[in-house]
Every structure is written in C-alpha cells, then in structure tokens.
Amino acid sequence: MCEAGYDLKLLLKNEENIITETKWGKSEADRCPYAWEKLYIPYFSQSGFWKEVDFSKAAKRGYMENGECKISGDVVFNFGKNKRYKRNQKFEYFAGLLERDFAEHNYLRYLQELEDCNALNYSIYNLSFMPVTGALNNFKGTNRLMNEENGQKLDRGDKFIYRINDFYENKSMEHIIFSNTHGRKSKTATAEENTQKLKNVLLTFLDKLNDVNGYCKYMYLIDDKKYIRKLVEEGQKPIVTGCDVVRYMKLAEEYWMIKYNKINEMM
C-alpha cells in the first residue's frame, strides 16, 4: 500500500492564490501579470540575490533580466491543466496508472487526490522562476527529461532539479541542460557563435547560484536542503506504476506546503 499524501484543503480553499484563466488573460499562467503581482514581485524580490534587478516592467513583459539572462516563470510539478482542457495527456497518463494498479476504492481515493493536484497546477505554490535565455525552460518540457516513462512528456520538476544538480556536480558547456540552446545566424555572427554566446550567458547566471541549493533557494523559494535532496533522488525514478504516481503527488504536495509556510513567514 502506498503512503497517503497531504490534505490539500488548506491550499484549495484560498482561491485568490489559484490562477484561473480569467486571471492570466492572454499570457501563460506562470508568467502572467497576476503571477508577478501575487508571487514573484512581493516574495521572490525580497531576496538580496535579486536586489539589483528591475521588476518594474516584469508584470507587463512576462520576464525580467538578471544581467543578460532573461528570467520568466515556470510550472514546477505538472499534472495536466492548461487553457483549453481541464485535463491533458499528463493527467490521463497518471489516472490510467492509478486505475490499472489499484482496486476501485483506492483508485477513486487517489483519483480525487490527482484531481486536487490538478486544481493546484496553476497555484502560486506551484510556480517558480526559470531562465529563458539558453532555453532552459524548453529543456525541462521536452523529451530530454522523459526517457523511461513510456514516451510521456511529463515536465517533471523533480527530474529537472536532478539534472540541475548533475550540472553543478559536473560543470560542462556540453551538459544536457544546454541541449535546447540554439542561436540563430545574425548579421554579425554565425548560428554557432550565437549558440555559444547564449550558453555563456546561461552559464554565467547559473554560476551566480553556486549549487542546487542556491538554485532552489532563489529560483524556487525553497531552502529546505533535506527536501532538495529528496527532489534530486526522486528525479532519478520513473513514473510507470500507480505507486509512482502517488509518490509523485506526495512530493508535489510537500513542495507546496513548504512554499505555503515560506510565503506566510515572509508576509
């Protein structure tokens, strides 16, 4: 039997912290003005790390700049919600594993938990900063992170942090996190030269964060080192069974509760 997760009623009842389509308008939920005004500017900007960054135009633009590196928003743990559909292939994949591997009673119980996780997909507790320069955001959402999961693009926050930790332990411009960095030919440089320039900008920014703990502290608003280690460990595991789905939900729920407590503390 898999371990039960957290009670999400506390997070679900605070609807102002859940970004609905009426709030995000034409932008994506993770970079819309509401996300900047409700999360990024009031809480992330408190850190001394961002003290020299101009946040004044971020809500309108959907990004801000740290040096030459553009920083926007990202959904950390994806359960499938998007503009057009309440569910998508991620949700159906998770639900299918639960239905396959659990008897009806437990399946319905875990399906409700999955529904709750999906409802919090675009909550302020599930958003983070993400470097756009160097296309690190595209790397997170592509096949580079899937490998084991039956061809599914699950866009997993834990697997992304596992890759980030691996980068800090094995720093190289050829690391897989740069695999989606592609420059275009310009009047003054070749595509290869511009690709290298983008890699250098991203590398310079990541160097400022020192290690995976610094990355999570300033990009995720998470400074619980024990939990960060758990992200790294869980990110190496596939999601191919019902129990894997339950484990992944619990990992996301723990993240949200840590962030909920952090935001309340910063208030």
State whether the Cα torsion 27-31-34-36 is positive or negative. Answer: negative
Please check whether residue 82 lies inside any domain of the structure: yes
Is residue 3 a part of any domain in this protein? Answer: no
Q: Look at residue 81 in the predicted model and tell me its pLDDT.
A: 65
Assess if residue 159 is contained within a domain.
yes
257 within domain boundaries: yes
pTM of the complete model: 0.92
Q: How many domains does the chain have?
A: 1
> In this structure, are residues 222 and 258 in contact, taking their beta carbons and an 8 Å threshold?
yes
Print the domain residue range for 242.
8-266
Query: Residues 1-16: pLDDT tens digits?
Result: 566 567 788 899 988 9
Binned at pLDDT 50, 70 and 90, residue 144 comes out as low
Report yes or no on 1 lying in a domain. Answer: no
| 104 domain residue, yes or no | yes
Indicate the range of 83-92, 157-166, 222-231 predicted with least confidence: 83-92
Query: Using only C-alpha atoms, what is the Rg of the chain?
Result: 18
pLDDT of 111: 94
Q: Which positions ≥6 away from 219 have C-beta within 8 Å?
A: 128, 129, 130, 209
**pLDDT at residue 82 greater than cutoff 70:** no
The stretch 221-250 carries a mean pLDDT of 95
Whether 2 is covered by a domain: the verdict is no
Q: Residue 94 domain-assigned? A: yes
Task: Return the pLDDT at 183.
Answer: 87
